[in-house]
Chains A and B, each alone.
Chain A
Amino acid sequence: MSGEITRNPKLAWREVDGAMVIISPEDSQVHELNETASLFWKHAEGKTLDELVERISAEYEVARETARADLEELLAALGEKQLMFVAPEGKG
């Protein structure tokens, strides 16, 4: 999983009190992200999972394996709701 992480380009979103409120125009579904997921939404765009693992393990002094597991879990949850996904490699 080394492609770039990207937001679903169809979504409309605003930051409200530090949290992301996201609307899916296709089904008018409203999503509200928690603090951690909101940070991920803001900062993960255009980065690879490897880059984020490096950054988080350095900044927060956590083991790479732990950081990777947490990020994968978060990305899977966001992916399940079709909010974010990993773009195929080479297609920025």
Chain B
Amino acid sequence: MHLEKTDGVVHPVETLDGCVPLHISIGSVPLSLFIREPALREPASRRYREFADHSQNGFPIVLRKTAKQVWESGEFSYLLDDAGLVLRSQGAEFHGVRHEYALDSLLRILLTMVLLPQRGFLLHGATVVRDGRAYIFFGRSGAGKSTVASLSPKGSVLTDEISLIRYSDGCWQAHGTPFWGEFRAAGQNRLVPVAGFYLLKQATEERVEILSVKQALRALLPCVLFFAGEKSAHETLLRTLLGLTQEIPCHRLYFRRNAEFWRVIAA
């Protein structure tokens, strides 16, 4: 696997000698994490255990202890406090990662970039599976994502915080993610066809309103995790979301803090 490139130049990443990578897969994106420090490797193994992968040939991510001093003209770089990410066509480097919070944050950023050319994205949303289909409840912080997840049967929640959506096998699918609220280690590594999107709005009654394509785009865009600054990346995202909203219904869900909302969704 490699990222789509515009200049055709291959940018390899040097791995760590003698370091056995941790193979995981998130959103059907195989990743090989090269982590030498046990203080980081062990918690990472625990956190991503549900996402362990045996393909052995994932997109290499090399964790380097020191903060990067000189930033080269890599394909994409992102600074997050003291830690940083450099993404190249054939791998990524995470610099200055001191704790698993930073590792988790950089993984999210990396995934947004890797998924983008593959019609995929991360969304601030909870994914709940019901009757074999995924319902995505999205909204900004405080909208009620974790409330919806907590009101859903155990085992039916693929994430209560960050949903991963991508187009594959001819349809839009929601994938389980290890990205949960309050940094809980949870998740199931499976994918389910998407039934619909629900923008959460806390109210005094249960009600559901269908959104037009335009309204859906406006609702989704601010909730997509996105870190690229280039126009072309935004164009790709717009194209992906437009394709999605033309195929999958998007709603505004007015709900109280109880499980009655399923009544209006099923109606």
Contact = CB atoms under 8 A, between A and B. Distances in A.
A22 B213 CA distance: 14
B46 interface: no
A32 B218 contact: yes
Interface residue range, chain A? 10 to 19
B140 to A, nearest CB: 13
B238 A17 contact: no
A11 B214 contact: no
Contacts of B230: 25
The residue in B221, B228, B233 that gathers the most chain A C-beta atoms within 10 A of its C-beta is: B221
A26 B239 CA distance: 18
A28 interface: yes
A21 interface: yes
B242 interface: yes
B54 interface: no
A26 B242 CA distance: 21
Contacts of B237: 12, 23
A16 B213 CA distance: 7
B238 A12 contact: yes
A30 B222 contact: yes
A32 B218 CA distance: 8
B218 A30 contact: yes
B221 A14 contact: no
Contacts of B234: 12, 23, 25
Interface in A28-84: 28, 30, 32
A16 B242 contact: yes
A88 B32 CA distance: 52
B52 interface: no
A21 B233 contact: no
Contacts of B229: 25-26
B184 interface: no
Nearest to B229: A25
B231 A12 contact: yes
B214 A17 contact: yes
Contacts of A30: 217-218, 221-222
B200 to A, nearest CB: 19
B246 to A, nearest CB: 9
B59 interface: no
Contacts of A25: 228-231, 233-234
Contacts of A28: 222, 226
A91 interface: no
B169 interface: no
A11 B222 CA distance: 16
Contacts of B217: 16, 21, 30
Given A23-B234, A25-B229, A14 B239 contact: yes
Contacts of A32: 214, 218
A82 to B, nearest CB: 14
B182 interface: no
A27 to B, nearest CB: 10
B242 A14 contact: yes
Interface string A2-16: 000000011111101
A67 to B, nearest CB: 28
**A-B pairs, 4 with minimum CB distance:** A12-B234, A12-B235, A14-B238, A25-B234
